[in-house]
Structure 1
Amino acid sequence: MLSGRNSSHDVLHTLLALLVSLTSLVPPTAALPLGVVSQDPTTDSEARPAVGFADLLLAAQLIRFQSDSLKTQVCDKYLMCDSDMEILSHNGLHLPKITKEDGCYASDFNKEKCFQKISIGLYMYLPYLHFVQNDFGGEEKQIKNMQHATKHLADVIKMVLKDASGVKQMDKNEQQILLESLSLNQEWTRKLTISFILRDFTSFMEKIIRAVRYVQNS
C-alpha cells in the first residue's frame, strides 16, 4: 500500500514539474521568486504572450488534485475532515474566495474581472501554502511543488490581463508577519489552520477550473 502511495506521489511530482513549461509563456520579469513581484507589468495587448487555455486548465487541475490529496492526508493524519470542521468555521483566516461578484460565474461572466481576482487570490494563497509546507511534516517536497506551480499559474494568468496594475503579492514584511502569527498558535490550532487552508484552496482551484473551462469553450 505504501509503495502505491509513493508511486502516486512520484507521478504527481512529475506532472507538476511539467508546469515549469508555462514559464516559457511569461517574460523573465514575471517569473520571480516567492515574495517578489515584477514592477513593470505589460499592458500592451500585442506584447502580451499568447496563452493556451488548455495549458492553464491542465495546470489548475493538477494543482487542485494535489491540494485535494493533501487535504485527504490531513484528514487521515490529524482526524480533521470537512464534516468535523463545520462547527469551527469561524477561523478568522480571511482566505481568498471567488464569489458571484467576481465575474467568474457563467451567468455574469467577465473574463478580465474574473482573471484579476484569480491571480490576486493565487498570490494571496502563497504565504499560507508556505505555512502548510513548514508545519505539515513529511510532505515538504510535495507542498513545495504545489506552491511553485501555484506561483507559475498566477504569473501566467496575470499576463493575460489587459491591466495587471492591481495584481500584487504581499510584500516580504507582510508575509513574515503573517507566518509568524500563524506559527505562534498552539499545535492543535496550527493543525486546524492547515486543514482550513487546504480545504479553501481546493475550493478556490475548483472555481478556477470552471472559469478557465468556460473561457476555453466559449
Structure 2
Amino acid sequence: MALSLRTIVPILTQLRFLALALSLALSLALLVPSIHASPVPDSSGEEEPSDARQETPKYESLALLIQSEAALLKEELCTKHFVCDNSMESLLENNLNLPKINREDGCFKQGFRKEKCLRKITNSLLGFETYLSYVEETMGIESKKVESIKYKTKHLTELLLALMRKPNAEGVTPGTPGTPENRQTRPQAKDTWTQKVTARLILRDFILFIQKTVRAVRFLSTSGARNGSLGV
C-alpha cells in the first residue's frame, strides 16, 4: 500500500535529524584527539622551563597569594582613603630604607645563586616585618588584612629557610626582625595623611619585592637549582 504524504514527511524529518546528529558526533570524535595532540601555546611571552612543572610549589603559591593580598590593600588605600599617586612620594622615598632585590643578590636568571638569593630574600622578608607593622597601625579597620599578610609572609620565610643548606648563616635567623640596618629604620610621620602615603609606599615596594621573589623561586623548580648545582 502506498504511503500518504502525511506519513512520509515526519519520517523524512526524523531521518534528517538523525543524519545531522551522526555528522556532529563524527566531527567531535575527530576533533578531540587533535585537541590533546596540539595544546594551546602560552601567549604570556614568558619562557617556560624545559622540564615543565606538574604542580606549583607551595612557596610559590604562597608568594603569589601574598602579592595579590598586598595589591588589593594598596588599591583600598586609593579607593577608600584617596591615597593614590601623590607628589609627596618623592620626598618620602628618600627617608625609607626598604629592602630591594638587586642583580648582585644572585636572584636573576643570569648568575642565579640559590643560597645567596634565598639568604637575601629571607633576610629582607624578616626586615619587612617592621614596615608591615607600620602599615598595620595605619590601616585602622583594614589592619586585620595586614595581619594576614604578615602571617603569610612569616610562613613564606620559614618555607624558604627550609630550602637553604645553611639557614642560620650570616644572621638569617627565624623569629628575628631582619638585618641590623632594617631593624634600625622605622618610618616617622607627623600627620595622618603622611602616614597613609608612607603606608602606600611600603606596600608598593613590598609588592615589587614579592614579584621578584616569585620569579626567583621559580628558578628553584629547575633541575639545576633543585640539585644545588647553582651553588652559593
Give the TM-score of the pair, scaled to structure 1: 0.67
Gaps of 5+ in 1: 1-51
Gaps of 5+ in 2: 1-54, 224-232
Change (3 A) 1:162 1:139: same
1:29-48 equivalences in 2 (<5 Å): none
Q: Give the root-mean-square deviation of aligned CA atoms.
A: 2.7
The code of the aligned residue for 1:170 comes to P
Give the TM-score of the pair, scaled to structure 2: 0.63
What do residues 185-218 of structure 1 show as CA deviations (whole Å, max 9, x unaligned)? 3222211110111000000000010011122144
Does the alignment pair 1:136 with 2:139?
Answer: yes
Report what 2:26 is aligned to.
none
Cα deviation for residue 93 of structure 1 reads: 1.3
Shift >4 Å, 4+ stretches: 82-86, 174-179
SS in 2 for 1:160: coil
Higher relative contact order (CA 8 A, sep 6+): 1
1:78-157 equivalences in 2 (<5 Å): 78-82=81-85, 87-88=90-91, 90-157=93-160
Aligned residues: 164
Structure 2 counterpart of 1:188, from 187, 193, 204: 193
SS in 2 for 1:185: coil
SS in 2 for 1:107: coil
Report what 1:211 is aligned to.
216
Report what 2:177 is aligned to.
170
Cα deviation for residue 88 of structure 1 reads: 3.8
SS in 1 for 2:202: helix
Residue identity (%): 36
Judge conservation of contact 1:97–1:204 (CA < 8 Å) in 2.
Answer: yes
Cα deviation for residue 163 of structure 1 reads: 1.6
Change (3 A) 1:53 1:163: farther
Structure 1 counterpart of 2:206, from 201, 206, 214: 201
Judge conservation of contact 1:53–1:212 (CA < 8 Å) in 2.
Answer: no
What is the rounded CA distance, in whole Å, between the counterparts of 2:111 and 2:85 in structure 1? 30
Judge conservation of contact 2:118–2:161 (CA < 8 Å) in 1.
Answer: yes
What is the rounded CA distance, in whole Å, between the counterparts of 1:198 and 1:152 in structure 2? 18
Cα deviation for residue 175 of structure 1 reads: 9.1
SS in 1 for 2:110: helix
The code of the aligned residue for 1:194 comes to A
The code of the aligned residue for 1:106 comes to K
The code of the aligned residue for 1:161 comes to M
What is the rounded CA distance, in whole Å, between the counterparts of 2:183 and 2:104 in structure 1? 30
Which structure is larger by alpha-carbon Rg, 1 or 2? Answer: 2
Judge conservation of contact 1:134–1:140 (CA < 8 Å) in 2.
Answer: yes
Report what 2:66 is aligned to.
63
Judge conservation of contact 1:82–1:199 (CA < 8 Å) in 2.
Answer: no
Cα deviation for residue 138 of structure 1 reads: 1.6
The code of the aligned residue for 1:149 comes to K
Q: Give the structure with the larger helix fraction.
A: 1
